[in-house]
Structures are given as structure tokens and as C-alpha cells.
Chain A
Amino acid sequence: MVLGIEYDVVQVTLLSLYVAGAATILGCLIGIPLGSLIGLKEFGGKGTLKTITYTMYGFPPVVSGLFIYYLFSRSGPFGSLGVLFTPTAMILAETLLVIPLAAGITITEVSEVDRSIKDTIRALGASRRISNLTVMREAWVGLIMAAMIGFGRCIAEVGAAYMVGGNIQGETRTLTTAIMLETRMGKFDYAIGLGLVLIAVALAVFFFMRLLQEKEHL
């Protein structure tokens, strides 16, 4: 069904994977430590910080895109870098979407593990560092879950990708922006075909991540 499309669907698919993958990794690298910090430490205002983190789950992708647009537009503070309308800009905008998800899920995971086993380990004489590491190890399934949800949000995202990527053929066209273009052009069948490609690709990635989740847990 997608054979009638004039641009390279394989390249578009790879770019989607690259952008969503890189944003997920970056977002998790920032979000998970942040989340474990919030989850494991006790401090004033913790409840408020958690609420803010959870609220950011609903952060609108277009707003994230606009924010990155303003930063990297030629009129903006980082305009001279020439990052706007490149995959890097798209990765940055989507990273902003992953960070709160990764942080929030990590908070929930470590808090739950925390309650059930932390006291036991401490009672058995483990140091604080060891007990925190044990908690993180137990929370592994949840952390992979955070990455999965982050990746799911990125690969399906279109507002920010269009805004800062520009849907340039051969450069910043991803599956979702291509779907939008085909829909706008009235080629609904192509749009659905590309949607199926997206789901197939996501299936492969999630299958791999599930493997990762289970291997470690055994």
C-alpha cells in the first residue's frame, strides 16, 4: 500500500526510530536519576514536586515544540547553532516530553519497592547506599516501563516534530509527519499504510524492550 509514495519510506522509518530512540534515551538519562532522587530522599515540598511531575505527563507536545522553536530560532538565544529544522531539534523537543514521564514512573516504582523491602534490608545491616541500589535493582521492571512509555509517546508524537522539524522530505520527515502530510493531501490509504508501518516498528521495539525487562528479572 505504501509503494506509491514518492519519498523513501525506509529512510522516514529509520529517522522516526532514531528521533524517538534518542529522545527516550536522553529523557531517561535525565528523568530516571531525577525520579529516584525525588523518590528515595525525604525533603520538604516532596509532595508538591511529585504533583508537578505527574502534571507534566500532560505537557502538550506542540508547546514543547514551540519552546524549542523559540530557543533555536535564528531570533532566539541559540539561533546561531543552526539546529532548527534538523533531527536534533526534534530530539530535544521530545526529550522534554520524556523527562517527566521517566521521572514520575521512577518515583512511583522506587517508592513502592522502598516501602516493601528497604526496611528489611536496612534491618539486615545494609548501608544506605547498598539499600538504595537494591531498591533501584528491584525497580528495574518499572524503569524499563518508563522507557517504553516514553518511547511510545515519542514515536506517536506529531505536533512538536512538525513544529521544529518542518517535515522536510529526506531530512526531518518522520512517520507521523508523513501521515499528516498524506492525510492533508487526501491520500487516506497511504496515511493508514504508514500508520501500520509505525505500529509494526513499535511492536518490534516493544518486543525487544519486554525481553530486556524479563531477562533481568529472572
Chain B
Amino acid sequence: MAMIAISIAVVAAVVISAMALVVFAPKMQYLRMATTTSTQDSGLLDYILPVFENETNSKVEVIAVGSGQALEMGKRGDVDILMVHSPASEAQFVKDGYGTNRTQFMYNWFVIVGPDSDPAGTRYAKNSSDAFKRILDNGTTGNVTFVSRADNSGTHSKELTIWSALGYNKTQVAAFDSSWYKQAGQGMGSVLDMCEDMGAYTLSDDATYYSRVEAGIIPSLNITKAGDSALKNQYSIILVNSTIWTHINATLAEDFLAWITSHDGQDLIKSYERYGQQLFTPNAPAYISALSIAGCRGAVEAAVSASTRSEETILRLSNIRG
């Protein structure tokens, strides 16, 4: 019996002290941010956030989920700020009065990824919707497979935009034959792993694609189509409406927006590299205009390099592999 009493006392002591740690932990300023998995999984946030945290003696609490879930968290007042990439839903969110100050601040690229042999011939497609057309045609005849995120994420909504250019709405896409159109309902990384396994195509953001290439787990997947302006992946910051939700840390949220769109914040984003290349291109309005006012060829150069970058990437990748 003594043994039991001691055991229970030990367990109770551990639980109580752990609770005390949680309750009495020193309070600093907290900013709660819901974001999409790609900004966290690419390592960008781990790279840029410590700088902001040091400057403002704050801690940014990152909750990385799909864009759909992130917006829902904002709507319910559970976070202070959103960093998302789902333009149509973002616009609706702001229009409905749930958020303010929606500001573009960076972009990267979506790429169409598929097996080395590219049986659908997407390499020769004029643009992204032509590439999708080729996948659709070859899919219905049983030659190729496409894996869709099918999870209301920003990537999924971009995929639906491309299908809609071919005349298929959301419902029609969801009704595509599952023999070739696999609706995974999973994150980008898992979908890429599935494609590797099935020799399938998918639409991916390039950051997630590169980090998986770097990890060596998708050796047979290649970028087969990229560089189309329709494949631009724009990220925005939205402040959750602090007149609806008074508990929100609006001041720190505004500070964060000001910082990430500042010259320093934008340069920091620009300097983040993985796999030997820059993953995100800063494009906050103030930053872009400052560049052009300075007359430093910046804006033009950025635009030109952005459109050629994906082509270079394909070359670089094939050099590394081949």
C-alpha cells in the first residue's frame, strides 16, 4: 500500500509541477498565426520568424493547416493573423468582414509534376491548361493518372481554377473517373509521395517539391510544365478583424504586417534558399514600388527572372540528376 501511495504522490507531483510551469511561464507578447503547411514545411517560417520575434520581443505561434482550415480559424476568431494563398476565398473572407488589410507579400510557383517519361506529353503543352487537357485526354483512355489534393487547400483551389479554364466546374471535376483522377484529401508532401509510387501527375507548389527532391524520396518525379503565369502562387497576409474579436492582438498583428512588407522583411524572404535556389519572391506593393523608384532595374529584373526561373530550374534539376 505504501508503494501505491508513493507512486500516486510522485505522479501527482509531476502533474502539478507541469501545470505550474504552464500557468506561471513568463508572459511575453504572443501573435497567433494560422498559415498554410507550405510556408512551414518549406522551412521559410523557421528562417524569417526569429528575426521578427527578436526585434519585438514576441513569440509567433504558428498553426500550420490547409488554407481552408486557416480561414475558418480566422472566421471564428481563434487566431490573430493569416498567411494564406487562396485568392478567391481570401477575397470572400475580407468581403464578409472577417478580415482587413489583405496584403500580397510574396509568391512562388506551382509546377506540374509527373513521371520522367511524361506519357501525357505535358512537356510540349502550350500552357498549364493545355497540360491539364493532355492529362485529362490520356487519363480517360487509361494511360496516365493524376492525384488531386482535393482538400480545399490553396493548391487545390489553384487546380480547380485550371480545370475551370477548360470548362469543368468544381462538381464536374469531383465527378472525374477515379480510375485516373485520384482525390487524395492529403497534404502536398503525401500527394507527391503517392505520385512517386503510382507514376502519377499532380500540381504542386515548387517549395514542397524541392524539399522532397532534396530529401531524396521522389527520385522519379520531374517538373514537366512550369513557368506559365497562371501557375503563380500568391501569398497574402490578412489581419483578423479586431472589431469583431476584441481579444485579438491587433497591434502586434499590424507590426507583423508592417515588418514583413518592409524592405528588411522582404529582403529576408528573398534571401531564403533551399536546393541552391530562392524559393519565394517578395512582392509587397511598397517593396516593388520602392524598387522601381530607386530605378535599380529591380522590378523589371524581378519580373524577367521570375518568368525564366522555372525554365532554369528544370535545366538545373536535369543537370543534377543526369
Q: Tell whether A and B belong to one assembly.
A: yes
Q: Which residues of chain A have a CB within 8 Å of any CB of chain B?
A: 6, 14, 18, 21-22, 25, 73-76, 79-80, 82, 84-88, 166-171, 181, 183-188, 208, 212, 215-216
Tell me, rounded to whole Å, the shortest Cβ–Cβ distance linking B184 to chain A: 13
CB-defined contacts of B32 to chain A, threshold 8 Å: 85
Known A6-B46, A85-B61; judge A21-B76 contact (CB<8 A). Answer: no
Complex CA gap A131/B19 in Å reads 38
B150 at the interface (CB under 8 A from A): no
Q: Would you list the 8 A-B pairs with minimal beta carbon distance, nearest first?
A: A74-B77, A166-B63, A186-B215, A75-B76, A18-B18, A186-B212, A168-B61, A184-B189
Residue in A25, A169, A183 with the greatest tally of chain B CB atoms within 10 Å? A169
- Which residues on the B side are within 8 Å of A166 (C-beta)? 61, 63
Nearest chain B residue, comparing its CB with the CB of A166: B63
Q: In the docked arrangement, what's the CA distance between A216 and B15, Å? A: 23
Stretch at the interface among B3-11, B128-136, B261-269: B3-11
- B320 at the A interface (CB under 8 A): no
Which residue, A6, A73, A186, A215, has most C-beta atoms of chain B within 10 A?
A186
A185–B189 touching, CB < 8 Å: yes
The closest CB in chain B to the CB of A88 belongs to: B22
Instruction: Using CB atoms, name the residue of chain A closest to B240.
Output: A74
Neighbouring A residues of B107 by C-beta, 8 Å: none
CB–CB B78/A184 < 8 A: no
Quick check: A215 and B3 within 8 Å, CB to CB? yes
Output the least CB separation between A89 and chain B (Å): 11
B78 near A73 (CB under 8 angstroms)? yes
Count: A-B pairs, CB below 8 Å: 81
Contacts of A87 in B (CB 8 A): 22
Q: How far is the CA of A1 from the CA of B214 in the complex (A)?
A: 18
**How far is the CB of B108 from the nearest CB of chain A, in Å?**
16
B62 within 8 A of A: yes
* Complex interface: chain B residues within 8 A of A215 (CB): 3-4
Query: Which B residues touch A21, using CB under 8 A?
Result: 11, 14-15
B15→A75 contact, CB < 8 A: no
Instruction: Name the B residues within 8 Å of A82 (CB-CB).
Output: 247
State the CA gap A88–B214 with chains docked (Å).
37
**How many angstroms from the CA of A169 to the CA of B46 in the assembled complex?**
10
> Do the beta carbons of B18 and A167 come within 8 Å of each other?
no
Contact with A along B52-67 (1 / 0, CB 8 A): 0000000101111000
Q: Which residues does chain A contribute within 8 Å of B190, judged by CB atoms?
A: 183-184
Using CB atoms and an 8 Å cutoff, list the residues of chain B in contact with chain A. Answer: 1, 3-4, 7, 11, 14-15, 18-19, 22, 32, 37, 40-41, 43, 46, 59, 61-64, 75-78, 187-190, 211-212, 214-215, 217, 245, 247
Q: How far apart are A87's CB and chain B's nearest CB, in angstroms?
A: 6
A169 touching B15 by the CB < 8 A rule?
Answer: no
Q: Which residue of A lies closest to B72 (CB)?
A: A73
Determine whether the beta carbon of B14 is less than 8 Å from that of A212.
Answer: no
CB <8 Å contact, B61 and A171: yes
Q: Once the chains bind, are B15 and A22 in contact (CB under 8 Å)?
A: yes
Residues of chain B lying within 8 A (CB to CB) of residue A25:
11, 15
Residues in B neighbouring A185, C-beta threshold 8 A: 41, 43, 189, 211, 215
**Would B247 and A74 count as touching, CB distance under 8 A?**
yes
Known: A21-B11, A184-B189, A188-B215. A75 touches B77 (CB 8 A): yes
* A74-B247, A167-B63, A184-B41 known; A84-B211 Cβ under 8 A: no
Are A184 and B187 in contact, with the CB atoms below 8 A? yes
Q: Which residue of B lies closest to A212 (CB)?
A: B7
Q: Pick from B11, B37, B62: contact of A169, CB below 8 A.
A: B62
CB contact under 8 A between A74 and B245, given known A18-B18, A21-B14: yes
Nearest CB of chain A from residue B45's CB, rounded to whole Å: 9
The distance in angstroms between the C-alpha atoms of A6 and B46, with both chains bound, is 9
Chain B residues contacting A22 (CB-CB under 8 Å) are 15, 18-19
- Nearest-neighbour CB distance to chain B for A101, whole angstroms, equals 18
List the A residue with the shortest CB-CB distance to B25: A171
Could you tell me if B78 and A84 are in contact, using CB atoms closer than 8 angstroms? yes
Which partner residue on chain A sits nearest B187 by CB separation? A184
Q: List 25 A-B contacts (CB under 8 A).
A: A18-B15, A21-B15, A22-B19, A25-B15, A73-B77, A74-B76, A74-B77, A74-B78, A85-B32, A86-B22, A87-B22, A166-B63, A167-B64, A168-B63, A184-B37, A184-B41, A184-B190, A185-B211, A186-B41, A188-B215, A188-B217, A215-B3, A215-B4, A216-B1, A216-B3
- B-chain residues with CB within 8 Å of residue A188 when the two chains form the complex: 215, 217
Name A86's closest neighbour in chain B (CB-CB): B22
User: What residue in chain B is nearest A7 (Cβ atoms)?
Assistant: B46
Establish whether residues A187 and B78, one from each chain, have CB atoms under 8 Å apart when the complex forms: no
CA distance A86 to B23 in the complex (A): 11
